[in-house]
Amino acid sequence: MKIHYFDHAATTPMHQDVAKAMLEVMQGPGGNSSSMHAFGRAAKQRLNQSRDLISAAVGCKPAELLFTSGGTESDNAALIGAARAQRKRGKTHIITSAGEHHAVLHTCEWLAKEEGFTLTVLPVDKDGFTSPEQVRAAITPETGLISIMHGNNEVGTIQPIEEIGRIAKENGVIFHVDAVQTLGWFEYRLSEMPVDLMSFSSHKINGPQGVGALYIAAGTSLEPLQHGGSQERKRRAGTENIAGIAGFAAAVDICVNERKKKQPYMDELRKIWIELLHEHVMVPVVINGSEQKHLPHIVNVSFIGVDTETMLMNLDMEGIAAASGSACTSGALERSHVLRAMQLPEEQILSAVRFSFGLGNTLEELEDAAQKVGTIVRRIRNNY
């Protein structure tokens, strides 16, 4: 049976050059980057080289890049650290949107419930957009932090972060952006952008799981979540994951070098996949999210009248990996909070499946997969 991995928004297969970079570290002599001897200095050099490469790729200073365990920690470190720092200035109001990843939404809700912050959760429109003017209208003298993601992980909608960032700057508010899904698809020049904090994750760009980064613009106040050693300029105590960070750097390097040819290819995959679904599926097929401003590798599809969980089980049996939404919540029975925030018709919410493409996917495999999807839909409909 042919298998098709269409769940790259959840995690991506590791690039062979990334594995090679990690293996060099893991098979080499051990070394703690905080140690003063030659082995420690060698580890420190590898750490610095990786930081230099990644910071150059996203357009910031090496000192502005903090290594973490992934996107969730980067989001938590940014939100909790910035909120606590802003509270010392009398700023206790946080703004976010209903379409954010739970790593942001749940953290903001926790800050409101456990630490007494005031939280405004802005709505999104039917395409998943957050309105910059609604952000502006929500700002009060007490607002200290705004968090809006760049590219939505479920429907792929790209948010107007430049405009929102300018509004935040005009009002002296710290602006955090979850860019976990967009790293590798955009040419970031963070030093020129109105962004104070930006979260990244390695395993979304064919790097290792368990590694991420947080951009912290120079001068941005942030209280650390972890205490102990003086690693990461005393912003995150703990021995650095040198092998993982080296792999992350290798993945970023590949992204930079291959972006211009990879992006149009993914656009083509997405376009043809939608065309094939319309051709082979004998129920209404609705695309959720923005038609124009979307990530090239994500497409969220509703097969009207076909239950999401039933569809996913049948896809899995036919060797097709897809998802109902965020990998962090797709194991739960709850329906997508993003689609509900978009206020889509219930029939769209209950039949939505996310397909996401990346390394290893080909135009040729789409025809086989689309035929299988068509067969699955007919089988499910005939059993009702």
For residue range 228-264, what is the model confidence (pLDDT) as tens digits? 999 999 999 999 999 999 999 999 999 988 999 999 9
| SS3 at position 81 | helix
216: part of which helix (H) or strand (E)?
strand 212-216
pLDDT for the residue numbered 383: 74
Is 4-12+259-383's fold the same as 16-254's?
A: no
Give the catalytic positions in this structure.
328
174-178/143-147 β-pairing: parallel
List the structure tokens of 93: 């109001």
Task: Yes or no: say if 211 and 248 are a contact pair by the CB < 8 Å rule.
Answer: yes
Q: Give domain limits for the chain.
A: 4-12+259-383, 16-254
Q: What are the CA-CA distances from residue 311 to residues 125, 197, 373 (Å)?
A: 27, 38, 9
pLDDT for the residue numbered 163: 98
Instruction: Give the whole-angstrom CA distance, residue 364 versus residue 208.
Output: 28
User: Other C-beta atoms within 10 Å of 339: how many?
Assistant: 25
pTM of the model: 0.96
320-321/4-5 β-pairing: parallel
| SS3 at position 140 | coil
What CATH number labels 16-254? 3.40.640.10
The amino acid occupying position 259 is R
144: part of which helix (H) or strand (E)?
strand 143-147
First to last CA, the chain: 27
For residue range 10-35, what is the model confidence (pLDDT) as tens digits? 999 999 999 999 999 999 888 899 99
pLDDT for the residue numbered 381: 84
The per-residue pLDDT of the chain, averaged, comes to 95
Does CATH number 3.90.1150.10 belong to domain 4-12+259-383?
A: yes
pLDDT for the residue numbered 382: 81
Nearest Cα to 8, choosing from 226, 231, 185, 234? 185
pLDDT for the residue numbered 330: 46
Instruction: Give the whole-angstrom CA distance, residue 104 versus residue 78.
Output: 10
Name residues of the chain where pLDDT drops below 70: 326-334, 384
